[in-house]
Amino acid sequence: PNAPKRATTAFFAFGAEMRPKLKEENPSLSVTEVAKELGVRWKALSEEEKQPYNEIAAKDKIRADAERADYTKPDSDSDDSDAGAGSKRK
């Protein structure tokens, strides 16, 4: 749970920006329909139009790589969590 988050992709950066606008334009769209429409719109963009999102993704990759380099996975032997709690059936 404390592991670093993965870097976002250019498409996810695009989706985060466009999803609210799309929902505002079409409030009746389901989650699936929104995702499909975002894919259609992403595909229609030129490489030049995708560039800002690629830059966001590149910056986030640097962040994620730095966090991953600094992260040390906890030893499973010293884990005091309740990972096995509740696993027994009565």
Q: Do residues 4 and 62 make contact, with C-beta atoms less than 8 angstroms apart? A: no
Q: What is the pTM of this model?
A: 0.72
* HEC per residue, 16-54: HHHHHHHHHHCCCCCHHHHHHHHHHHHHHCCHHHHHHHH
Q: In this predicted structure, what is the pLDDT of residue 75?
A: 78
Task: State pLDDT tens for residues 11-51.
Answer: 999 999 999 999 999 999 999 999 999 999 999 999 999 99
Q: What is the mean pLDDT of residues 74-88?
A: 58
Task: State pLDDT tens for residues 56-80.
Answer: 999 999 999 999 998 888 877 654 5
Structure tokens at 68: 């991953």
Q: In this predicted structure, what is the pLDDT of residue 82?
A: 53
